[in-house]
């Protein structure tokens, strides 16, 4: 079995707390095959001391490269976070386009490509992750690498004209065409990417589905990412989970709990969600005093203006609903701007009658899957899911909503609260089968199988 080389902006070094599902999956794949995990060290250091830290854990080598302050600003904060992230999530209005930032992004991909190339052996299988490294494959090729390179985009690939809004999209597309296999979360993303290459770059889709573009023949396919459902189910029954559910239960008493758990990000549809909950109370007098929304959303990347505005808007919306409807013993929206352990979250998911997952756009959305996996099979809650989350493509028995439609969401929450146990169980079973059938190990195995098959074809 060839060695696996994984490149991702952030890596999960051994012993780090709260390694997420992705880190576990990548770590397992690396441990199984042996290999290298390459990425940013998380350190920002002056140019003179910039280096690469290497250490070994079992049969996995970690190679972690530092960034200088200029690189961190241009590559990470400005281009990846303020241009690529918003455009890939359909928020061209929030994107800041800056040629100088792109140049630093390209330079970091070039420098990292050089560093990574030095670690490679001829038979290695290379797997690059996410939008930070769109040019990394091309840079490996520029250094002389001829082996197979796979790429997985964790976020959505938007409609062609949205991606084409990036002033540097031509150069990015050429970079992406250097990968042999491009994996996406959904069939919709694959369709968008293919149409983009055809419309903007005259690509040709071959009979076997491969795409001929810029003198390369590449493959694009969907590999929906998953979770470890058994792990979540186990955590939902842990002491920590029960304890958390008990503490919250004392406060909400016998009221129905509606839960939302997100990173605070403008892609998550939080203002629309809070507005929908407000509308639910406006329109249904009978629900006042009988249902509580718990929204957990720790702030992220506050340095960016758009996030500060979002925080203010959420405070305002929460204030409006709580101001209108709170009573001596009831606050309609409990908004917690902090993060919790996975055990605590699982316990809260299990307690909640309704899980609200309503991003405006999301690559997959793992919270949707975690909510399902945490439920009590005898008395499961209802998932209300945005049709624009990647998860929606295969979670058909969730109550799917348009996250821009505040009235529609309010109505869906009401119906979820009123749903019979029989229907809840019926819907949940189908969702749980999907979450189990496409767990995180199926994701990594199917991607690596496809990548290896391409390697064999290429001989
Ligand atoms: P994204 O990758 O955009 O943040 P996902 O829903 O795909 O969205 O993944 C988020 C992960 O982070 C999930 O595993 C979820 O449980 C976790 N998470 C999200 N919000 C919180 C929070 N407030 N506290 C702790 N963990 C969180």
Domain boundaries, the chain: 4-226+440-453, 230-437
CA of 373 to the centre of ligand 1 (A): 15
CA of 122 to the centre of ligand 1 (A): 37
CA of 354 to the centre of ligand 1 (A): 17
Ligand 1 site-directed mutation target among 261, 297, 362, 392, most atoms within 8 Å of CB? 261
Label residues 274-311 b or e (16+ Cβ within 10 Å = b): bbbbbbbbeebeebeeebbbbbbbebeeeebebbeebb
Predicted confidence at residue 83, as pLDDT, reads: 97
What are the structure tokens assigned to 260, written together?
Answer: 């939302």
User: Which residues are catalytic, by number?
Assistant: 154, 362
CA of 262 to the centre of ligand 1 (A): 6
The ligand 1 atom nearest the CA atom of 363:
7
CA of 107 to the centre of ligand 1 (A): 30
SS3 (DSSP) at 350: helix
Residue nearest (by alpha carbon) to ligand 1 atom 23: 339
Predicted confidence at residue 298, as pLDDT, reads: 85
CA of 348 to the centre of ligand 1 (A): 14
**339 close to ligand 1 (CB < 6 Angstrom):** yes
**364 close to ligand 1 (CB < 6 Angstrom):** yes
Predicted confidence at residue 14, as pLDDT, reads: 74
- The size of the chain, in residues, is 459
SS3 (DSSP) at 193: helix
The two domains 4-226+440-453 and 230-437 share their CATH topology (first three levels equal): yes
Residue nearest (by alpha carbon) to ligand 1 atom 2: 365
Predicted confidence at residue 190, as pLDDT, reads: 98
SS3 (DSSP) at 340: coil
The ligand 1 atom nearest the CA atom of 338:
23
Residue nearest (by alpha carbon) to ligand 1 atom 15: 367
Taking the C-alpha atoms of residue 186 and residue 177, their distance in angstroms, rounded to an integer, is 19
**345 close to ligand 1 (CB < 6 Angstrom):** yes
Cβ count within 10 A of residue 54: 12
The ligand 1 atom nearest the CA atom of 370:
16
Among 228, 105, 221, CA closest to 171: 105
CATH class of the domain at 230-437: alpha beta
Among 37, 35, 34, CA closest to 23: 37
**292 close to ligand 1 (CB < 6 Angstrom):** no
**10 close to ligand 1 (CB < 6 Angstrom):** no
Which CATH code, of 3.50.50.60, 3.40.50.720, 3.40.50.300, 3.40.50.2000, is assigned to 4-226+440-453? Answer: 3.40.50.2000
**Does residue 81 contact residue 302 with C-beta atoms inside 8 Å?**
no
Q: Could you tell me whether strands 291-296 and 333-336 are parallel, antiparallel, or unpaired per DSSP bridges?
A: parallel
Taking the C-alpha atoms of residue 162 and residue 176, their distance in angstroms, rounded to an integer, is 17
- Mean pLDDT per block of 10 residues along the chain (459 residues) reads 93 67 78 93 94 93 96 96 96 96 98 98 95 98 97 97 98 98 98 98 97 97 96 97 96 94 93 98 97 91 72 94 96 93 96 98 96 98 98 98 98 98 98 97 95 87
Residue nearest (by alpha carbon) to ligand 1 atom 20: 262
């Amino acid at each position: 079995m060839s060695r696996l080389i994984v490149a991702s902006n952030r890596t999960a070094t051994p012993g780090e707390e709260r390694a997420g599902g992705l880190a576990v999956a990548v770590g397992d794949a690396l441990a199984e095959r042996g290999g290298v995990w390459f990425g940013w060290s998380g350190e920002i250091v002056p140019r003179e001391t910039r280096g690469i830290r290497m250490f070994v854990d079992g049969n996995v080598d970690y190679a972690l490269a530092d960034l200088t302050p200029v690189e961190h600003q241009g590559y990470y904060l400005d281009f990846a976070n303020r241009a690529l992230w918003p455009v890939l999530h359909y928020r061209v209005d929030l994107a800041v386009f800056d040629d100088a930032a792109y140049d630093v992004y390209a330079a970091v991909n070039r420098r990292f490509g050089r560093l990574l190339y030095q670690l490679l052996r001829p038979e290695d299988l290379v797997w690059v992750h996410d939008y930070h490294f769109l040019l990394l494959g091309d840079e490996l090729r520029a250094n002389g690498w001829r082996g197979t390179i796979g790429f997985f985009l964790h976020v959505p690939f938007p409609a062609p004209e949205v991606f084409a809004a990036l002033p540097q999209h031509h150069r990015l597309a050429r970079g992406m065409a250097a990968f042999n296999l491009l994996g996406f979360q959904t069939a919709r993303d694959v369709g968008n990417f293919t149409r983009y290459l055809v419309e903007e770059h005259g690509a040709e889709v071959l009979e076997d589905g491969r795409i001929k573009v810029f003198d390369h023949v590449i493959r694009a396919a969907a590999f929906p990412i998953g979770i470890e459902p058994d792990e979540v189910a186990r955590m939902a029954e842990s002491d920590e989970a029960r304890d958390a559910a008990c503490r919250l239960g004392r406060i909400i008493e016998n009221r129905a709990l509606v839960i939302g758990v997100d990173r605070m990000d403008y892609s998550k549809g939080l203002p629309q969600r809070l507005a929908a909950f407000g509308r639910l109370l406006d329109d249904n007098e009978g629900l006042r005093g009988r249902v509580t929304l718990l929204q957990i959303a720790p702030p992220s990347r506050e340095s960016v203006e758009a996030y500060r505005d979002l925080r203010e808007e959420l405070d305002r919306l929460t204030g409006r609903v709580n101001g209108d409807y709170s009573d001596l013993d009831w606050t309609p929206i409990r908004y917690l701007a902090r993060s919790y352990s996975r055990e605590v979250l699982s316990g809260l998911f299990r307690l909640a009658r309704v899980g609200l997952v309503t991003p405006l756009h999301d690559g997959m959305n793992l919270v949707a899957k975690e909510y399902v996996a945490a439920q009590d099979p005898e008395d499961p809650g209802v998932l209300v899911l945005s049709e624009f989350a990647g998860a929606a493509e295969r979670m058909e028995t969730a109550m799917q909503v348009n996250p821009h439609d505040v009235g529609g969401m309010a109505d869906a929450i009401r119906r979820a609260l009123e749903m019979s146990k029989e229907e809840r169980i019926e819907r949940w079973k189908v969702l749980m089968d999907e979450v189990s059938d496409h767990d995180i190990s199926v994701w990594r195995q199917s991607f690596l199988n496809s990548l290896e098959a391409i390697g064999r074809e290429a001989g």
